[in-house]
A and B are shown apart, each in its own frame.
Chain A
């Protein structure tokens, strides 16, 4: 369990101090994959680095499993750091050492014997799928392979926590996905708590269980990844989420619209009731679906539809067209998670 209590970090820039992290408190549970998301410069990397004290907080406390490590220095700090692995965006491997020696390096730091190292390294290289690359130098590896070495060496000493600083940001999409799968496997098989920062919601969505959203040095929203995606509270979070769903319509469509354009959010079981077909029957409106997406986050569904409501052919005489559409919107609103009117 990692507890960050009221952490602040300031940098002295040109003449004035910049507060990179402001009064952040987080609790990260054992075995979680915890994401920290935000734009670059939001302070997420600084916050992550306070966990192993690469960045010393100006105020606040870092507590690992009940041990306050904030003021540790020297050998005591180095011992603590051996229990915290770290994976970097740019891998940071020793260029002049082979893959084997890079992994052996962290074991040497922990004072392991040559015998133990020669048993452990092949085991780790097997785990990350690089058994045949032991003798290669980093320059001979692809980005994804380098990051696999980075992960192997980071978990070599059986750490309790693995800090991942933008682990996939230097990789292409496909490689990125395989690295995330590997991290997930590390978490599931070895029970290592992972704290991962990323500027991409899609990364968070793929592997994290909980997430903190950072903006300008502060955590503005925190919770289950599903909840953050389903019901973002802050405008900034909503923007991040929208970006991921990416439901932009071509301009041609939005200009020629006649009718009411709705963005409808379906959550969980609700997604399974046939709301839209009910609407056409009950209110005699037409429903034209222009865009849609269903995402599964931690095995739960989030559905988003962009639909255009218009007057149907069978017009019940009792109601005018606009009143019918208004009651149809109300009906949808009461039967789904959220309805946004994009265009009336």
Chain B
């Protein structure tokens, strides 16, 4: 019995390590890629300083295409891309590629939504005082929408934890893969239960931290 427990523990540690790797990498890309893409969507659509219907249509189309494909399928569809970028399609790093693509599209929409929540009057005031577009983006939009960005990032992170469970299909490993392999294929219900509990705890922690960060950034309430 103790032997089983130690095996489970080391399996779990490994699986969580892989999950963190996948979620960490893809959430990094969510910010690096999704934030600018979200800004692009917002700025090209609103009549601020660069309304451009073509750029908006292109950006929006890209986001919609990615988001309309269920992640399991996206995982498979993007295998050639993964092969091209990394030279392999197996392992958590490989699974991070489709995860990142999904994360960018997912977060971009949330960023766009958060920007739309910024009071247009504030932007107008900045324009009235002669602020440059760059200053409006950097000083006004980025800061006024920060609580929304943080809330969106929390949602993205949790979705990515969910998505990463599917990574087992392409040999990505991770917690989800562990649960399916042992809990489902081998009828080791205890492994399933332990992983589920671990995931619940993880999501709770992420959500709590995200809420706290957003609340700190949001000065409207206090």
Measured CB to CB, the residues of A under 8 A from B are 52, 54, 75, 77-82, 84-86, 88, 90, 92-97, 105-106, 108-110, 137-140, 153-154, 157, 163
Measured CB to CB, the residues of B under 8 A from A are 119, 121-122, 124-132, 135, 139-140, 143-144, 146-147, 217-222
Taking a contact as CB atoms under 8 Å apart, the answer to whether A94 and B143 are in contact is yes
Q: Which residue of A lies closest to B219 (CB)?
A: A137
Q: Count of A-B contacts with CB under 8 A? A: 76
29 A-B pairs with CB atoms under 8 Å apart are: A54-B127, A54-B128, A75-B132, A78-B131, A78-B132, A79-B130, A81-B129, A82-B129, A84-B128, A86-B125, A86-B128, A88-B124, A88-B125, A92-B125, A94-B122, A95-B122, A95-B144, A95-B220, A96-B146, A97-B143, A105-B139, A108-B139, A109-B130, A110-B130, A137-B219, A139-B219, A139-B220, A153-B129, A157-B129
Taking a contact as CB atoms under 8 Å apart, the answer to whether B130 and A80 are in contact is yes
Taking a contact as CB atoms under 8 Å apart, the answer to whether A81 and B128 are in contact is yes
A78-B132, A106-B129, A109-B135 known; A88-B221 Cβ under 8 A = no
Taking a contact as CB atoms under 8 Å apart, the answer to whether B131 and A96 are in contact is no
Taking a contact as CB atoms under 8 Å apart, the answer to whether B222 and A137 are in contact is yes
Taking a contact as CB atoms under 8 Å apart, the answer to whether A90 and B121 are in contact is yes
Query: How far in angstroms is the closest Cβ of chain B from A23?
Result: 25
Residues from chain B with Cβ under 8 Å of A97 in the complex? 143, 219
Query: What does DSSP make chain B's interface, helix, strand, loop or mixed?
Result: helix
Known: A95-B119, A96-B143, A140-B222. 4 other contacts (CB 8 A): A54-B128, A81-B128, A86-B125, A105-B126
Residues from chain A with Cβ under 8 Å of B221 in the complex? 139
Residues from chain B with Cβ under 8 Å of A52 in the complex? 128
Taking a contact as CB atoms under 8 Å apart, the answer to whether A81 and B130 are in contact is yes
Residues from chain A with Cβ under 8 Å of B121 in the complex? 88, 90, 92
Residues from chain A with Cβ under 8 Å of B122 in the complex? 92-95
Query: How far in angstroms is the closest Cβ of chain B from A215?
Result: 26
The 8 A-B pairs of least Cβ separation, nearest first, read A81-B130, A78-B130, A92-B121, A92-B125, A137-B219, A86-B128, A82-B130, A106-B129
Q: Which residue of B lies closest to A136 (CB)?
A: B219
Query: How far in angstroms is the closest Cβ of chain B from A176?
Result: 19
Residues from chain B with Cβ under 8 Å of A94 in the complex? 122, 140, 143-144
CA distance in complex: A138, B143 (Å): 14
Out of B119, B131, B146, B222, which one reaches A92, CB within 8 Å? B119
Q: Which residue of A lies closest to B139 (CB)?
A: A105
Taking a contact as CB atoms under 8 Å apart, the answer to whether A109 and B131 are in contact is yes
CA distance in complex: A105, B140 (Å): 10
Residues from chain B with Cβ under 8 Å of A105 in the complex? 126, 129, 139
Q: Which of B128, B139, B143 has the most CB of A within 10 A?
A: B128
CA distance in complex: A319, B186 (Å): 122
CA distance in complex: A97, B141 (Å): 12
Q: Which residue of B lies closest to A153 (CB)?
A: B129
Query: How far in angstroms is the closest Cβ of chain B from A48?
Result: 11
Q: Which of A75, A81, A96, A140 has the most CB of B within 10 A?
A: A96
Residues from chain A with Cβ under 8 Å of B222 in the complex? 137, 139-140
Taking a contact as CB atoms under 8 Å apart, the answer to whether A92 and B129 are in contact is no
Query: How far in angstroms is the closest Cβ of chain B from A159?
Result: 9
